[in-house]
Amino acid sequence: MVTISVCLGSACHLKGANGVLDAFLALIERYQVQVQVQMAGNFCQGRCTEGVVVQIDDLLLTQVTKDQVFDLFTKYVLNGENE
Ligand code: FES
């Protein structure tokens, strides 16, 4: 099980958090990995200038854009690199 949390605070929202979240949800649907992935939204992580902030299990990622989501999904969900 991989837990992916996207910061939904206002600064990250302005930087495209919803697009990042939607991109993860679309890939989960496309690859039918709903049982492997738990998606969540976080409140502000205190790293507003570095948004969008995404946490994958214990790993905190900053400056995430929706264009990076496929690579992150492949690495951490399909290939399980954070396990
Ligand atoms: S709003 Fe995302 S870190 Fe503050």
* Pocket of ligand 1 from Cβ distances under 6 Å: 7, 9-12, 44-48, 51, 53
Residue identifier of the C-alpha nearest atom 1 of ligand 1: 9
Say if residue 83's pLDDT is above 70.
no
Pick the atom of ligand 1 nearest to 44's CA: 4
pLDDT single digits (tens) 24-81 = 999 999 999 999 999 998 999 999 999 999 999 999 999 999 999 999 999 999 998 7
Pick the atom of ligand 1 nearest to 11's CA: 1
Cα distances from 7 to residues 4, 33, 48, 60, 78, in angstroms, run 10, 22, 9, 11, 22
What are the residues whose beta carbons fall under 8 Å from the beta carbon of 36, sequence distance 6 or more? 1, 2, 77
Q: What is the pTM of this model?
A: 0.94
Pick the atom of ligand 1 nearest to 52's CA: 2
